[in-house]
């Protein structure tokens, strides 16, 4: 039986009729979005689950979508790829989860059976859900989590139970930014004990890279950002040094921390050509450049002069294969989630939340949490 908050009465020419509906944040092309009524999600495949959103958030990738940087996102798409909620319905093939479970919705969906998933490369899941070969489907190829309810494909391999004692707000950070910062920045960058690590961009994902880099024992973590507030905040996430990159001497200041050799690992966590160039400028011979940022335009890689430096460059979409480990660390207070959260809004105030998040330099926003 439908609960009262999922009923919508709409009047038509034939009189009042009962329709099922919910509220969601809908994308209508670059710069256009609307919080409006949409149909409720339903079970489509036996491996699906329906989750009632308790907590969701806004990602820098959502801002890239609104700028038109992700053309695969079409008009009418419900945005969002992060969240925690309660399972309200499961498909007939779902046996390891139950209605009432509180779960983390992974930003990457995994069928668990294809050749990529068996190798842990969930970001390229071959199941045909939106498009074969892409694991990031929420708010991209299918409707996402900035809504009252969401359909979750491959529920058993794409949802994670929230441990007792972990709040929904804290658990939401496991959906995307913590795995992304850890896997694409720290693990792909091969951060090792004693390394000097530069993180270019002290937004939420950059801060997640700093917080998880500390697990591997680097000697220094250097935060760089144009925003002095974010550089200052970075100390709360493990940065040992902070440099405002508008300083004309920013490069010399970083190199001075490395005896002039350059950093062992440069993590690019913004997604613009200027910060990519900064990473190349800072890395030492035989070092690593780990690209994390979502780029909306091409960058240059001067191979004619870089090849001789034996630099390793990595990039890619997060796989979320370290999510179970990060959940354990969060539950044991080995990773602090609360410092990431700067603002809280009701889900119905999501347009205000977008305004706050998009003006982070003015509002001092880090992670904006939306509670249903």
Q: Could you tell me the CATH number of the domain that includes residue 354?
A: 3.90.180.10
Give per-residue pLDDT as tens, 94-150.
999 999 999 999 999 999 999 999 999 999 999 988 788 899 999 999 999 999 999
Q: Are residues 310 and 324 in the same domain?
A: no
Q: Are residues 206 and 193 in the same domain?
A: yes
Give per-residue pLDDT as tens, 167-200.
999 999 999 999 999 999 999 999 999 999 999 9
Domain final position from 276, 291, 314: 314
d(CA 121, CA 50) in angstroms, rounded, equals 25
Q: Is the pLDDT of residue 5 over 80?
A: no
Q: Is the pLDDT of residue 4 over 50?
A: no
Q: What are phi and psi of 303, to 5 degrees?
A: -60, -30
Give per-residue pLDDT as tens, 306-349.
999 999 999 999 999 999 999 999 999 999 899 999 999 999 99
Query: Using an 8 Å Cβ cutoff, are 139 and 350 in contact?
Result: no
Q: What are phi and psi of 173, to 5 degrees?
A: -70, -15
Task: Determine the structural domain holding residue 184 and report its residue range.
Answer: 180-314
d(CA 347, CA 132) in angstroms, rounded, equals 31
Q: Are residues 48 and 172 in the same domain?
A: yes
Q: Are residues 170 and 279 in the same domain?
A: no
Determine the pLDDT at residue 295: 87
3-state secondary structure of 151: strand
Tokens of 85: 């909620």
Q: Are residues 171 and 190 in the same domain?
A: no
Q: Are residues 286 and 307 in the same domain?
A: yes
d(CA 344, CA 330) in angstroms, rounded, equals 20
Q: Are residues 161 and 231 in the same domain?
A: no
Q: Are residues 55 and 111 in the same domain?
A: yes
Q: Are residues 258 and 202 in the same domain?
A: yes
Query: Using an 8 Å Cβ cutoff, are 253 and 243 in contact?
Result: yes
- Residues in Cβ contact with 182 at an 8 Å cutoff, skipping those fewer than 6 apart: 208, 209, 212, 322, 326
d(CA 338, CA 277) in angstroms, rounded, equals 32
Q: Are residues 109 and 138 in the same domain?
A: yes
Q: Residue 175 forms beta bridges with which residues?
A: none
Element (H, E) at 350: helix 350-358
Query: Using an 8 Å Cβ cutoff, are 108 and 136 in contact?
Result: yes
Burial of 43 (0-12, 13-18, 19+ CB in 10 A): middle
Q: Are residues 188 and 227 in the same domain?
A: yes
């Amino acid at each position: 039986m439908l609960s009262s908050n999922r009923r919508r009465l709409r009047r038509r020419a034939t009189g009042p009729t009962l329709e099922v509906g919910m509220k969601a944040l809908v994308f209508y092309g670059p710069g256009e979005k609307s919080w409006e009524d949409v149909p409720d999600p339903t079970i489509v495949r036996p491996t699906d689950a329906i989750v009632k959103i308790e907590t969701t958030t806004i990602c820098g990738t959502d801002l890239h979508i609104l700028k038109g940087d992700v053309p695969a996102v079409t008009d009418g798409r419900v945005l969002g790829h992060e969240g925690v909620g309660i399972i309200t319905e499961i498909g007939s093939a779902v046996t390891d989860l139950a209605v009432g479970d509180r779960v983390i919705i992974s930003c990457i969906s995994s069928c668990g059976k294809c050749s990529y998933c068996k190798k842990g490369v969930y970001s390229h899941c071959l199941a045909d859900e939106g498009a074969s070969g892409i694991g990031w489907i929420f708010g991209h190829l299918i409707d996402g989590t900035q809504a009252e309810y969401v359909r979750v494909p491959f529920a058993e391999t794409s949802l994670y139970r929230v441990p007792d004692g972990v709040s929904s707000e804290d658990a939401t950070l496991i959906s995307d930014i913590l795995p992304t910062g850890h896997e694409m920045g720290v693990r792909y960058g091969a951060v090792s004990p004693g390394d000097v690590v530069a993180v270019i961009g002290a937004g939420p994902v950059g801060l997640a890279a700093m917080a998880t880099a500390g697990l591997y024992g680097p000697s220094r973590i250097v935060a760089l950002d144009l925003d002095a507030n974010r550089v200052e905040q970075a100390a709360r996430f493990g940065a040992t040094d902070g440099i405002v990159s508008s300083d004309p001497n920013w490069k010399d200041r970083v190199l001075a921390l490395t005896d002039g050799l350059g950093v062992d690992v440069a993590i690019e966590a913004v997604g613009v050509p200027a910060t990519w160039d900064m990473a190349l400028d800072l890395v030492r011979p035989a070092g690593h450049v780990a690209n994390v940022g979502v780029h909306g335009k091409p960058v240059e890689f001067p191979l004619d002069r870089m090849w001789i430096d034996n630099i390793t460059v990595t990039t890619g979409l997060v796989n979320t294969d370290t999510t179970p480990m990060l959940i354990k660390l969060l539950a044991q207070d080995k990773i602090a989630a609360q410092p990431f959260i700067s603002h809280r809004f009701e889900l119905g105030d999501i347009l205000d939340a977008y305004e706050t998040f998009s003006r982070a330099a003015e509002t001092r926003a880090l992670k904006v949490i939306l509670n249903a």
